[in-house]
Amino acid sequence: MPEILLLDLGSTSLKWQTRSGAGLVLDTGRHDWAVSGAAPELPQCQPQAVWMVRVGAAEREEILRAALRARYGGVPVVSVRPRADGPGGLRLDYDLQQFGADRYCALLGVVARTRKPAVVVDAGTAVTVDLLAADGRHLGGYILPGLRGGLAAVSRLFPDALQAQVAPTLRQAVESLPVDSGISPGHDTGEALLRGWVLGLAGAVQRVGAQAAETEEGVEWWLTGGDAGWLSSLLDRPVHLVPGLVFDGLWCHLRPRRGDGGTLP
């Protein structure tokens, strides 16, 4: 069966899906890849096409494209670029040179599912919060430091000895974040920093997302990204948790070229 390989090249990882021609998800995977010289891990398949979302430096995409050629030969590779008028009625009033393809695809994934106004949160290396009107207009957004980047930035302000003391606590905690214990105050600097940042980030997301409720009624919240699970549990509202939202939007961006109108399968 011919497969299409979808790639999400983030700042620190490479995620993928393989889909059938009808859009059914056949396989998923993730590889922590910071381009340190090693080639990225790629799925064992022979796709008929590769569709890609990339954020960050263009050099990373070139390295990935070389790995794709070595692994799959001359398979066509298409990299998504945001459009002011996207499929499904999405309309962007934003500098497209500065709007990440992952944010664009996450919005498309929501537009393909609902015509209600929405808050779209992608919680990854950075946390982006984008607001959508019911007619598909993008109302703007916010960008916040993500969990790991924020913790690293603050801990670098500590004296060297304290950095060494808190590093193991932070490293172990972010690998398996205990949401329940993240609400209570910490009893050492590592715990205090982690729990303060977790609650602060959740509070910031909730506050900036609430801007949508001031102008739109019936707003729905959609969350995706590696940290969406714990973040959703700390938000005081119902949310739709969709891990593959960026892939869904990538599919909707390119599928209309094959004639099906850009809706999800």
Cβ neighbors of 69 (< 8 A, separation 6 or more) are none
From 130, 104, 128, 126, select the one nearest 220 (Cα to Cα).
130
Three-state SS for 41-77 is CCCCCCCCEEEEEECCCHHHHHHHHHHHHHHHCCCCE
Catalytic residue (choose from 8, 102, 130, 248): 102
Structure tokens at 124: 């990854």
Whether 188 is a known active-site residue: answer no
d(CA 182, CA 178): 6
Asked whether the beta carbons of 48 and 4 are under 8 A apart, the reply is: yes
Kindly compute the dihedral angle of the four CA atoms of residues 212, 213, 214, 216, in this order, to the nearest 10 degrees: 80
List, by residue number, the catalytic residues: 102
